[in-house]
Amino acid sequence: MPAARIRALIDRSNGEAPVEPAPVPVVAVDANGADRGPAEVAAGANIAAAQGVRILLFGPAAQLGSAGPGIEVIDAPQSIAKEPNPAAAARSNPESSIVRAARAVAAGDADALVSAGATGAALAAALFNIKRDRGILRPALAATIPVPGAPVTLVDVGANTEVRPEHLVQFAFMGAALAQVVHGIDRPRIALLSVGEEASRGSPLTIDVHARLAALAGLNFVGNIEGHALVEGKADIVVTDGFTGNVALKVMEGVSSKMIALLRQTATSSTRAKAGGLLMAPALRAFRDEIHPELAGGAYLLGLRKLGVVGHGRFTSRGFAHAILLAARGVTGDVPGRTHDALERAGALRKSGGALSETANTVSAQ
């Protein structure tokens, strides 16, 4: 749903009291950390604001240029995007742009956080300020791969390099709720990334997780999926650890970028190719736009009390606009609340003692 249509329509026809317009989402954006500089993020913020999103833009005001309607610039020149220890940097630099943006979300001044910088800094700032939702073991990054006709979302893609089985169970429910809210899929297909389709194939971790997911009636679990099948439309959500997911995502982004470059190179390689390229230009542009990594807008940071989105440092203004609009859609669809409800119904939230409830935690590998 485009951000411009976020506001509720007013009933004009039957004399009833008018419906109050839905609140416009407010997104706190950290402008530091982008490869092209803060001005590129600011340009993306202007695009998103023109579509109906209010934005608090944190970064070096002198480099952000003129802010359009709907944008409030907060001068925050300090950046921790390149710090080697993100957790320590987030604690010791409370005036950095990402920490101030996260604080604005925690205080209720904004509904969601968008970061253009390093994933580690965004995750640390979010955990220290916005904090994990009640019952969540680990937050997870969920990134949608823009496969033409069959987009697939990977959970996790970098927040957790080492996981336990119960973490992946929660990731599955987080992904399912995300698919329902953002992508409009009523009963999303959940798969587990492994080295074979059989339940007995994979590491001890994936074998254990397969058994747990298969036993849960609340999930449409379709089994294991191999790496080559990620682009074949066999699943809507693919669950994995953050290390494997990040590698898979980066490989697919690299292949996508290389494919676009090769198409451009081939279409200009000779006079005949240029003539053919002119004829095919509209179709090639449409294909390029459909598979471009910027289309996805970044990765949702799930499992927090409020929503976060982590964009890619290589994004242009278009990509950052998509990231902000992605956050706005998640706020409008109440991704955090619906994720929590789905986990609670399934018994997949951590109890006060630290374990998951029986319905989600008693099944183990045979």
Span 289-329, pLDDT tens digits: 665 666 667 889 999 999 999 988 888 898 999 999 999 98
> Residue 99: pLDDT above 70?
yes
Summarize pLDDT for 327-347 with one digit per residue, the tens.
998 899 888 988 888 788 877
Which range of 116-120, 189-193, 320-324, 350-354 scores highest in mean pLDDT? It is 189-193
Rounded mean pLDDT, 262-272: 79
pLDDT at position 292, please?
61
pLDDT at position 242, please?
92
pLDDT at position 348, please?
76
Summarize pLDDT for 109-166 with one digit per residue, the tens.
999 999 987 888 899 999 999 999 999 999 999 998 877 777 889 999 989 989 999 9
Q: Which residues pair with 308 in a beta bridge?
A: 113, 301
> Residue 42: pLDDT above 50?
yes
Rounded mean pLDDT, 234-244: 94
Q: Going edge to edge, which strands form the sheet with 26-30?
A: 71-75, 54-59, 26-30, 112-115, 307-310, 299-302, 140-145, 152-155, 237-239, 189-193, 220-225
Q: In the chain, pLDDT over 70 holds for what percent of residues?
A: 85
Rounded mean pLDDT, 221-226: 94
Rounded mean pLDDT, 178-188: 86
Q: How many CA within 13 A on the CB side of residue 221?
A: 23
Rounded mean pLDDT, 272-286: 71
CATH numbers and ranges of domains, the chain: 1-131+304-333 (3.40.718.10), 144-293+335-366 (3.40.718.10)
Give the burial string for 110-134 (b: 16+ CB within 10 Å, else e).
bbbbbbbbbbbbbbbbbbbbbeebe
